[in-house]
Amino acid sequence: MCPQIMSHRQDKKFSQAGIAALPVIILSSFIVVELVVAGVLVAYLLNSSSLGVRRANETLSAAQAGILDATMKITRNKNFFTSSTSTLSFGNNLYAEVVVRKDYPIAGKHEIKSIGYISIGGIRRFSKKLRAILNVNSLTGKTELESFEEISI
């Protein structure tokens, strides 16, 4: 046989052998890309869920700080109350709005309501609301915590 014909047959044999490798490479690349996308999605979901838990804890702490601040003011002045909402800022977009009502629900008691929230772009997010009832002795000024609860917003 002619050397050119032999060469042509060998080239054809090698080119057909390479065709089988192409789908294998494409399929394995697709599987690798799919695994990477799944890993990124799982990491994102885990990160966003832990961020929500952290924000909820921060708002609860802000609401508790509002209760403690009002308790301190009542301890110093047994006639303390607020006629409107007072806002405490803790930085990092974290706030607490506190209302103190004197002689509520009955005489000699103070009700404190505190809402802790995060403000992002002027919108409240992750709010927690706490309520405390303090019993204040009008003669001695002794202050006792009667109840402390988280209430729905």
Q: How far is CA 15 from CA 5, 26, 92, in A?
A: 15, 18, 64
Q: Give me the pLDDT at residue 125, please.
A: 86
Q: What's residue 43's pLDDT?
A: 93
Residues in contact with 41: Cβ distance below 8 Å, sequence separation at least 6, in sequence order: none
> According to the model, what pLDDT value does residue 109 have?
94
pLDDT score of 112: 97
The confidence score (pLDDT) of residue 47 equals 87
pLDDT at position 5: 52
3-state SS, 14-64, equals HHHHHHHHHHHHHHHHHHHHHHHHHHHHHHHHHHHHHHHHHHHHHHHHHHH
pLDDT below 50 — which residues of the chain?
Answer: none
